[in-house]
Amino acid sequence: MAEQTSGTATGMRRVLGMPALVVFGLAYMVPLTVFTTYGVVTESTDGHLPGAYVVTLVAMLFTASSYGRMARVHPFAGSAYTYTQQSFGRHAGFLVGWALLLDYVFLPMINYLVVGIYLNAQFPAVPGWVFLLAAIVLVTGLNVIGIRMVTRMNLVLIGAQAVFVVVFLVQAFRVIAGDGTPSLTEPFFGGDTSLSRILGGAAILCLSFLGFDAISTLAEETREPRRLIPRAIMATTLIGGALFILISYAGSLAFPHWQRFSNVDSASLDVLRHIGGGLLTSFFTAAYVAGAFASAMASQASVSRILYAMGRDGVLPPRLFGRLSARFKTPAVAILLVGLVSCVALGITLDLASAVISFGALAAFSFVNLSVIKHYLLDGRNKDALAWLRYGLVPAIGVALTGWLWTSLSGITFVIGGIWVAIGIAWLSVLTRGFRRPAPKLELEHAG
């Protein structure tokens, strides 16, 4: 089927090219998120934070490759939900989509919480909930207007983070030059640190890469999605990983781990003060808040499109979720509902919101890798040695890596995730009249 560039039967406009997709993915990932777990992973790996990021990047590239392969055959808005349903059937697709919603719904909450926390710290006279609500209203409004507006705002906010990264790197290498030449390889490997400790740190850092998969949710608004979506997914993973490695490497050399942090949770502030003083710390606050806004816009756009795909198929009430705004050609009702649900951030802690994000993401990652094996290898006709390597070994490694990451999840994650999955099974039972009828089918003919 030929790609359409002006629009599709769904009414969603194909306006996104390669640069916009990469900006969207980076906005979702937030380049400055490296500072969120800086102290925790630096201590757990005995100062080998950059080395742990290298391991994480390698692990994520396997899953990113699988997302790209599935996007070529199913260039539609449902992401892992679409891929799993087409490969393993309607019930499996529903449950993966349901689990993925947990990740997508909670990620905007974290961004809104961060905005409230940091701006309240900067302006203590204004309650944090005021900033939080203002952010929800602004981000929701921009998403309703359209993905092109979101992309333009993300470009500005990513630009602010890019300027901070440049300033940080310049200042860091000035400090390194003034303090003498440290060991250039120590942050990656060396000393008495075991490989298991570096791998443990890498498991934590996988959360930094959540976002490359969100690009696949924009397939129906992308020009030539079969070609551009896979490229954008891999490019975003590589660029984001390179930034994480470079930033952590410069910080590790400028502020070696043996100098110790005053507080491991706010270790990044120790590094920033050492490198650039109060001015750089204030700049970081502004850039980090900008990054949280960008990630909130990207994550809310993604979850609304997954809800739209599920509503369009009858998995969720179509009158609420399966309709587009006549004026803006966006899933406005789904966007507004996500904004409303995000108000839960007023009464939830950052720790609790963070604890459940990885549950849905790792479930989706595992099934996307399995979908590649099922579609290309088991259902496909080409089973030569090269096919077994591309569509068998590579995604199998991705499955193994995501399975290993599951072992690092906390108990509360499994409790909340298990409850969420149980609710999903109950809803699926209602949809299928006690599993006596098939689940609603994904109508792929809606997209070109």
Which of the residue ranges 156-160, 179-183, 213-217 would you say has the lowest mean pLDDT?
Answer: 179-183
Q: Is the pLDDT of residue 446 over 60?
A: no
Percentage of residues in the chain having pLDDT higher than 90:
16
16 strand-pairing partners: 222
Contact 424, 94 (CB under 8 A): yes
Rg of the chain's alpha carbons, rounded to an integer?
22
Q: Is the pLDDT of residue 249 over 60?
A: yes
CATH of domain 19-435: 1.20.1740.10
Beta strands in 4-105 (DSSP E): none
Distance, in Å, from the CA atom of 439 to the CA atom of 339, rounded to the nearest integer, reads 28
Give residue 169's pLDDT band: very low, low, confident or very high (50, 70, 90): very high
pLDDT of residue 3: 37
What pTM was computed for the model? 0.76
What's phi and psi for 389, nearest 5 deg? -75, -50
Tokens of 355: 């604890």
Ramachandran region, residue 43 (left: φ > 0; alpha: ψ -120 to 50; beta: rest): alpha
- With tokens 């100062």, the residue in question is 47
pLDDT of 422 reads: 93
CA 414 vs CA 87, 410, 418: distances in Å: 26, 7, 6
Q: Which residue ranges make up each domain of the chain?
A: 19-435
| pLDDT range class, residue 166, cuts 50, 70, 90 | very high
* pLDDT band at residue 15 under the 50/70/90 scheme: confident
The mean pLDDT value of the chain amounts to: 81
What proportion of the chain, given as a percentage, has pLDDT over 70?
89
